[in-house]
Amino acid sequence: MSTTHILGYPRIGKQRELKFALEAYWRGESSQQQLLEVGRTIRQKNWQVQQDSGQTWVTVGDFAWYDQVLNTSLLLGNIPERHQVDNLNLDSMFAIARGQQSCACNHAASDMSKWFNTNYHYIVPEFSESSCFSLQWQQLFDEIEEALALGHAVKPVILGPVSYLYLGKNDDAATAGFQRLSLLPQLLKVYREIFQKMAALGVEWVQLDEPVLGLELEPQWQEALLDAYRTRISPTKLLLTSYFADVLDNADVIKQLAVDGLHLDLSAAPEQLQQVLTWLPEKWVLSAGIINGRNVWRANLPDLIERYRSLKVRLGERLWLASSCSLLHSPLDLDNEDGLGDAKYRLAFAQQKLTELQLLDDAISGDADALRLSRQYSAALQTLNKKTNSALQRRLDQLNPEQRQRKLTFIKRQAIQQQSLQLPLLPTTTIGSFPQTDQIRRQRREYRVGTLSQVDYDAALAKHIADAIKRQEKLGLDVLVHGEAERNDMVEYFAELLDGFIVSRFAWVQSYGSRCVKPAIIVDDIERSKPLTIEWTHYAQSLTTKPVKGMLTGPVTILTWSFAREDLSRAEIAEQIALALNDEVNELQQAGIKVIQIDEPAIREGMPLKRSQWESYLDWAVSAFKLSAASAKPETQIHTHMCYSEFNDIMPAVAALDADVLTIETSRSAMSLLQAFEHFAYPNQIGPGVYDIHSPNIPSVAEIKNLIDKAAQWIPLQRLWVNPDCGLKTRNWQETEAALENMVLATKELRVNWPKGLAL
Ligand code: GLN
Ligand code: ZN
């Protein structure tokens, strides 16, 4: 008997049922009973497919109404003070995740943060000296019982205490020197209780997720792992689980822990295996994560069989086969798709990965039929491994260093651009998108299904663009945008126009709560065989004498937010995208566009988990960005935009992008980002966002002036821009105009009446 399992399964449902059920419930259109029913059905289906595909256990505890880290907070009774209620229920959970929608008091939502290097966002736990923990939320136990009652063999998953603390933050009540780790002993008490309870339910194995094992942990966090697990903490057996990176930095700690097995992500880091085998304790099982939970590709089964057959011989029953990480990060079912053509034979989504796992296990155990089937199954992959086509490769090889960057230095470019653009002090602009109104969405939908003709759709877009230009002129902004009415998504729009991508219809992946994204899939070389943005940008420019900013998504962001082919390195793919954008930049400027923004919001999130790999990542990421902008003449002003992340620790790389203007999200942290400039003087122009576009609140003139003022303490006025902190597509026009009116007013007041003490 051999063991196969997955670390978790997508919970949104094949038709995104959970999303729609949640949103209906939040709008007050359905009852809690109806929501609970949808959740139950999804869970039961998920367990059933795991059982049907022959997994040893079904994974329980991976279902979440909003987020699995938030589940853990409730389980442990760690409720932020402002959300505490007598009777914890589903609504309290949603209040923590989304804020108390009904009142304007300070029941703010908890922060969200990226789950390691994925595009999934978790709800950040909050801690202070007064945090105390107790077993409060029964969901995990209820679900275990639910699965048992259906006759399943159950393996619960739980986020371990060290990762839970690590992923949290100190809340407002915490004093300055407060160390979250001081809470560990208390926390462990509750974990012991949880394990006891699971054992009492008859659970044999628990999947104990400690994904921080993949990080280069500081000594105090390694110490914490020892404190947590040096002695046995659970009457059940424990599978210590880590993913997304190798565990080698923490090897000395891991081997001392009183657990019963270790799971390795051998898709992300196959090379760790040899080392781990040298110290893996005799009695432990090794769960080999070899079916990649984060991509959409069929596994190369013959190759995996070859690589892991001898391991099977060596470890026997102690070898388990598994998904590399939770399948949460891959789309649900390929059978939903039509219209992917032959590419379909190269793809596998979550449900297909279950089958792969089983086939792999049978074949590795020596089943001849399975061996033959796995060869057939992976046959389509043979066609995949063709390298970059030669014409494109030649073009890339022939690029000389001068063609990979701007020709003049920023200082020289700045002078030339000022000559040509004649912008006032503190130029005002926006980040690209304007409200995506119901009307725009409806028209796009009708166009897609064919009830709105190309001609009528184009006419509608032209109207939206003209409207956006008119409104911006009236507001008195200095650098205008066309508003992105033609784009549903800043990556998908480009993926549909560039060669080398396929765009699925249903390959949704949860991003946070009820939000899902549908990443494009890079199946081939990326080339630009037609213009991408020229027509609409040119049209917008024809309507005004003010400069209109062309709007492109950068190479690193397009790559990071897509599923990438795996026969080329990420660096090579980014370079292909960059070359395509380079052509687009060139054509935009030939069409009379003087300002071009290349968005890179994902540059921070694409960073490897290990700091030791940052430098090489940033090297190619910066080169790719520079290549996209390199065709710009000195008089063409290149902007870039970043948001959603902490940029303080990569400011030198951000500066190395050498964009003429950087606009960046800062207003939520009241410009705290700018403190980075205390240590690092950003050399080019910069527009720190002066208001938070995620909030419907209208910023006052005084608030905006105050923020510009703060920014001016770090950045010389001559290099300062004024703009919101991100695109405005989620706002309505009324909010947008009111906010921008105040922004322009604040700027105008400052231009004539700069506060004393700050030199102009
Ligand atoms: N230009 C994009 C917009 O305004 C930028 C979005 C982003 O930063 N994520 O919508
Ligand atoms: Zn942004």
pLDDT band at 387 (very low <50, low <70, confident <90, very high): low
* Residue percentage of the chain with pLDDT more than 70: 97
Buried b (16+ CB within 10 A) or exposed e, 276-307: beeebeeebbbbbbbbbbbbbbbbbbbebbeb
The residue nearest atom 1 of ligand 1, judged by CA position, is 432
Instruction: Please identify, by atom number, the ligand 1 atom nearest to the C-alpha of residue 727.
Output: 4
Instruction: Give the pairing type, strands 499-502 and 520-527.
Output: antiparallel
The whole-number pLDDT of residue 101 equals: 59
The whole-number pLDDT of residue 104 equals: 52
Q: Indicate if the pLDDT at residue 380 is higher than 90.
A: no
Phi and psi torsions of 423, nearest 5°: -80, 150
731: Cβ–Cβ under 8 A, 6 or more apart, which residues?
435, 693, 696, 739
So where are the chain's domains? 3-64+125-383, 410-489+532-751
Alpha-carbon gap, residue 370 to 375, rounded angstroms: 9
The whole-number pLDDT of residue 338 equals: 87
Q: Tokens 């231009």 belong to which residue?
A: 751
8 A C-beta contact, residue 735 and residue 694? no
Q: Indicate if the pLDDT at residue 748 is higher than 90.
A: yes
Q: Indicate if the pLDDT at residue 670 is higher than 70.
A: no
Q: Is 107 a catalytic residue?
A: no
The whole-number pLDDT of residue 108 equals: 82
Q: 410-489+532-751 maps to which CATH number?
A: 3.20.20.210
pLDDT, mean of residues 587-616: 96
Residue 490 CA to ligand 1 centre (angstroms): 7
The whole-number pLDDT of residue 492 equals: 96
* Residue percentage of the chain with pLDDT more than 90: 85
The whole-number pLDDT of residue 675 equals: 74
Q: Indicate if the pLDDT at residue 645 is higher than 80.
A: no
CA distances to 276, 337, 347, 520, 521 from 343, in Å: 36, 11, 7, 13, 10
pLDDT, mean of residues 549-560: 98
Least confident of 79-83, 273-277, 737-741: 79-83
Instruction: Please identify, by atom number, the ligand 1 atom nearest to the C-alpha of residue 490.
Output: 2
The pick from 533, 726, 728, 740 for probing ligand 1's pocket by mutation, whose C-beta has the most ligand atoms within 8 angstroms, reads 726
Q: How is the chain split among helix, strand and coil, in percent rounded to 5? A: 45, 15, 40
Instruction: Please identify, by atom number, the ligand 1 atom nearest to the C-alpha of residue 553.
Output: 1
The domain made up of 3-64+125-383 is a member of CATH 3.40.50.150: no
The residue nearest atom 9 of ligand 1, judged by CA position, is 601
pLDDT, mean of residues 342-361: 95
pLDDT band at 678 (very low <50, low <70, confident <90, very high): confident
Phi and psi torsions of 256, nearest 5°: -90, 0
The whole-number pLDDT of residue 317 equals: 96
Mean of all residue pLDDT scores within the chain: 94
Q: Do 410-489+532-751 and 3-64+125-383 fall under one CATH topology?
A: yes
pLDDT band at 667 (very low <50, low <70, confident <90, very high): low
Neighbour-count burial of 424, counting CB atoms closer than 10 A to its CB (0-12 exposed, 13-18 middle, 19+ buried): exposed
The residue nearest atom 5 of ligand 1, judged by CA position, is 727
Smallest-distance ligand from the CA of 484: 1
Cα 358 to chain centroid distance, Å, stands at 30
Query: pLDDT for 261-299, tens place per residue?
Result: 999 999 999 999 999 999 999 999 999 999 999 999 999
Q: Indicate if the pLDDT at residue 411 is higher than 90.
A: yes
The whole-number pLDDT of residue 539 equals: 98
Residues with CB under 6 A from ligand 1: 431-433, 484, 490, 551, 599, 601, 641, 643, 726-727, 729
The whole-number pLDDT of residue 386 equals: 60
The whole-number pLDDT of residue 696 equals: 84
Beta strands in 387-467 (DSSP E): none
The whole-number pLDDT of residue 750 equals: 94
pLDDT, mean of residues 224-232: 98
Query: pLDDT for 158-204, tens place per residue?
Result: 999 999 999 999 988 888 889 999 999 999 999 999 999 999 999 99
Q: Indicate if the pLDDT at residue 109 is higher than 90.
A: no
Query: pLDDT for 51-76, tens place per residue?
Result: 999 999 999 999 999 999 999 999 99
Q: Indicate if the pLDDT at residue 651 is higher than 80.
A: yes
